[in-house]
Amino acid sequence: MTSGKNGGRARVRRAAAVVFLALALAAAGANAQVGRRPQVSADSARHVADLFFRAVADEKWEAAAAFVDTIAIKRKVAQHVSNARSSMPVFLTIEELMQRDPNMPREVAEYQLKQHREQMKNFNPAQFISFEFAGVNTIRELQALSARDATARYLQALDSRWMMRKQVVESGCASAGMVPLPAPIHRILGATLGSDSVAYVLHEDEGFDSVSDADLMFEPMVMRLRLGPQGWRIVPSRSMLSRSNSFMTGVTCDSTQKKVR
């Protein structure tokens, strides 16, 4: 009888030991996962920049957005929404208008109010959003985007090929979607660490090699990256894909290419 009790206790102890060991291993694995940090080196930051530029060249905007710090884009979206709301027109009533100027005849107040409403019909507080977020035309559309999607649209709007196609469409050319444009190529010159969590990548547009050093007017561009839980992420800026994001061109097409309206 005693032997049976002892055997039962032994089995319980063994089972408890197995459970404890399993929990300890799981905890150790979790701690190792939490404590694991991405590789902190200039080469790892350079690799991220290289993958980013490759995705941009292929116009894979969602893939490119994966290498960008979306927190900064979230702030930009919030600022656009706030600015649009604050710029919404305020319409006074006829009584309020006449209170401001008691000598104003009611007919004049009615006319001014009517004129103001006509002028505001085409007012769009989000009219410049499409230049900063490709394909986004309203505040509601911007708010509906996830952080990753908003970042992808932001990058696309910085691309000179998208700007060119947009101008072709606005010109009324029928072959707007078939414009062959070369992919931009960024040459990485070097990378360095600013700290344990900040890196800088020096890069240049291909095409400046043919210019002599004496005539070179432009300095290389600098891309900043921050280290987070997911690794290096590029800090977005208006000049991340071109020197000043200034792209000017004129697009015309002959009458045979014009869309029939």
Q: Is the pLDDT of residue 104 over 60?
A: yes
Residue 238's pLDDT band (cuts 50, 70, 90): confident
Q: Which of 6-20, 82-96, 151-165 has the lowest mean pLDDT?
A: 6-20
Nearest to 58 by CA among 207, 184, 152, 239: 184
Rounded to an integer, what distance in angstroms lies between the CA atom of residue 99 and that of residue 102? 5
Q: Is the pLDDT of residue 200 over 70?
A: yes
pLDDT digits (tens, 9 = 90+) for 18-35: 433 343 334 434 333 444
**Which of the two residues, 172 and 114, has the higher pLDDT score?**
114
pTM for the predicted model, two decimal places: 0.65
Q: Is the pLDDT of residue 225 over 90?
A: yes
- What count of Cα atoms within 13 Å lies in the side-chain half-sphere of residue 81? 13
pLDDT digits (tens, 9 = 90+) for 161-185: 888 887 777 777 655 555 567 777 8
